[in-house]
Chains A and B, each alone.
Chain A
C-alpha cells in the first residue's frame, strides 16, 4: 500500500515538474519549445506516404470508387426568368402567359436540390479527399495494404494510449489553474497591476489548454489585432474557437450562464476581468442584451468583446448568415477568419450528433489541430448602410480571406424550418412572369439565348 502511495507521489511530482518547466513557463512568455512543430512535420510526411499508397492501391483495383469530387452535380446558373424563357422557346407567342412546361423548371430545381443542396451539407463534417488514418473518416476507403494497416494500428496506439492521457491531464491542469488563478487575482484591488496579472493568467491557462489539444496556431496580420473597446467577430466552427483566439489576446466573452463545471469557470473568470454573462431569461430580451454590450464597448478600457454572429457551429467550408444583432451595438468591428486544416483532425462540432464530452474525446484523439487565424482590418458601419448590409459586408470579407463559401442561408436552419417568406418570394417572381410584368421577351432569338447561356457555363 505504502509503495503505491510512494509511486503515485513520485509520478505526481514528475508530472508537475514537466508541466511547470516545459509547458507553463514557456506559455507565460509566449515561447514554444518546438516539439509540436516537429510532430506536425513528421505527421505530414506519414500522411503523404499514406496518400500515395492509397492512390497506388486504387489503381490496382479498377472497381474501387473514384476519389470524391467537390460536388455530385453541375448546376445551371440562370435566373427563373432566363430558364422560363428557354423552356418556352417552342411557343414564343405565349410569353407572359402560363405554359404547361413551366412546371418542368420547378421540377428540375427540386430534383437538383434533393441530390445536392447548399445548406444541409454544411451541418456535417466535410469529406476528405484522402484518408488521414483515422477510422472516423474512413467512409470510402477500405483495406489497401498490410503496411498501411500496420501504420494505422500504430496510430491508434499512439493516439489513445500516449497522447490522450497526456492531453487530458494537461487540459484539466490548465482549466483548474484558470479557476484558481483568476480567483486569486480577483482578490486584488482594482489597478493596472491587476489587469496585467489577469491577462497573464488567462493567456497562460489558454496556452496550456491549447497544448492539451496539440494545437498549432498560425496568426497572420497581427497588426490588426482587436483593440480595447472594439468587437471581435469570427466564423464559428467549434467551442474550441474561443481557446484558439484567446491564445493571442484577451477577450471579454459573451454567453449564457451555465451551471456545473462551466458555471464555476464563468464565475471565477468574471472576478478577474469583466466578461459579459447573461441569464437565460435575459437572452430573450434583445434590447437588454444590446444595451449591456453597448455599455461594455463604450467604456474604452474594457477588453474587446468576442462574438460569433452565425449563432451556431458550421463545418468550416462556408460562412452562413450573420445575425445583425452584433452589428447594431456600434463601435469598431474587428473581423477574424479561422480556418482549420482538416487533414489532422476534424474540429467541427456536430451538436446534433455528438455531445460536448464525446466531441472533446474525439478532438483529443485526433492527430492534432492545425489552424490558421487571419486578423482582418477593422471595419465600421457606413452612412446609409443598415445593420444587415453591414453584417453581409463583414461576412463576405471573412469568407473571402479564408477561401470559404459565402452563403446567405441562416445557420439556424440546422434546427428549425425555413421561413415561408422565401417560398413566397419565388411565387411572386413566377406570378410576375405569367402576368407579363417581367418582359422576358427580349430581342434575342431562341437559339441565340441558348448559345450564350451555354458559353457562360
Chain B
C-alpha cells in the first residue's frame, strides 16, 4: 500500500541532509520519492543496474562515468544520503549564500566543487591527474567509432599541450581550473529545481 515515501524518511534525516546539502525540505521529499521509484529491489540502496534502467542515461555517452560518480571507491551500493550528496553538486548557487558568512566547510555546490566533479569525469583512476590515456579513453566514450585512433590521439595531445603548464604531460586539477576559468560553471553545472 502507499505511504512508503514519507514515512521511511525520518525528520532527523531530512534535517541532516538539509544541513549537509542545502536542499529544502520539499526538494528532499520529492527526491526521496524519485530515489524509491528507482530502487527496484526496495532495499534502500541503488545499484549500478538501477541507474542503467533509465533510458536517457543509458544512451548518454558518458553515462557510465556519471553513474560512477555516485559510488564511493570500491562500493556497489549508494544510499539516499550518498545520492543527495552527489546531487548537491548540481544545486544552483543562490545569491544570498554568497553574502552570508562563509560556512566552516565549503558547500558542496561551490564553483570549486562543481569543477572537481567535472575533473573526476576524466580522472578515471582518481589519482588527481588526467593522463593522456585517461583523456583518450573518455574521448573514445564520447565519439564512439566515428573518429580514428590517430585523429583522436592528436586531439588529446593538443588538449594536454594547451592545458599543461608544469610540463608533466598530465592535467592537474589546478590546470583544469585554469582552462575552464571563463566557463559559466555556476549556470552550466546547475539543475533548476522547482519547489
Contacts and interface: CB of A to CB of B under 8 A. Distances in A.
Interface of A: 63, 65-66, 68-69, 71-75, 86-87, 89-91, 97-121, 124, 135-140, 142, 409, 413, 417-418, 422-424, 426-428, 430-432, 434-435
Interface in B64-90: 66, 87, 90
B114 to A, nearest CB: 9
A444 to B, nearest CB: 17
Contacts of B176: 100
B93 interface: no
A138 B4 CA distance: 9
Contact of B5 (A109, A111, A140): A140
B60 A430 contact: no
A117 B5 contact: no
B56 A117 contact: yes
A139 B4 CA distance: 7
B61 A426 contact: yes
B191 A73 contact: yes
Interface string B165-195: 0000001000010011111110011011111
For chain B, the bracket of interface size reads 35 or more
Given A119-B56, A417-B52, 13 more contacts: A66-B195, A72-B31, A72-B193, A97-B158, A101-B118, A103-B122, A103-B138, A104-B189, A110-B60, A409-B55, A422-B59, A428-B144, A430-B143
A232 B96 CA distance: 58
A98 B155 contact: yes
Nearest to B195: A66
Contacts of A116: 34
Nearest to A428: B146
25 contacts: A69-B194, A72-B194, A74-B194, A87-B183, A89-B182, A97-B155, A100-B179, A103-B142, A105-B188, A108-B188, A109-B56, A112-B191, A113-B54, A115-B34, A115-B87, A119-B55, A135-B1, A137-B2, A138-B1, A140-B6, A409-B55, A427-B142, A427-B143, A430-B61, A432-B146
A111 B66 contact: yes
A108 B147 contact: no
A429 to B, nearest CB: 9
A338 to B, nearest CB: 25
B159 interface: yes
Contacts of B137: none
Interface in B116-142: 117-118, 121-122, 138-139, 142
Nearest to B60: A110
A440 B193 CA distance: 29
Given A71-B194, A91-B182, A107-B121, A119 B54 contact: yes
Contact of B55 (A69, A100, A110, A413): A413
Contact of A110 (B4, B63, B183): B63
B29 interface: yes
B56 A107 contact: no
* Residue of B2, B37, B63 ringed by the most chain A CB atoms within 10 A: B2
Contact of B34 (A72, A86, A105, A136): A72
A65 B26 contact: yes
A89 B184 CA distance: 9
Nearest to A135: B1
Contacts of A426: 59-61
A97 B132 CA distance: 17
B48 interface: no
Nearest to A124: B37
A107 B194 contact: no
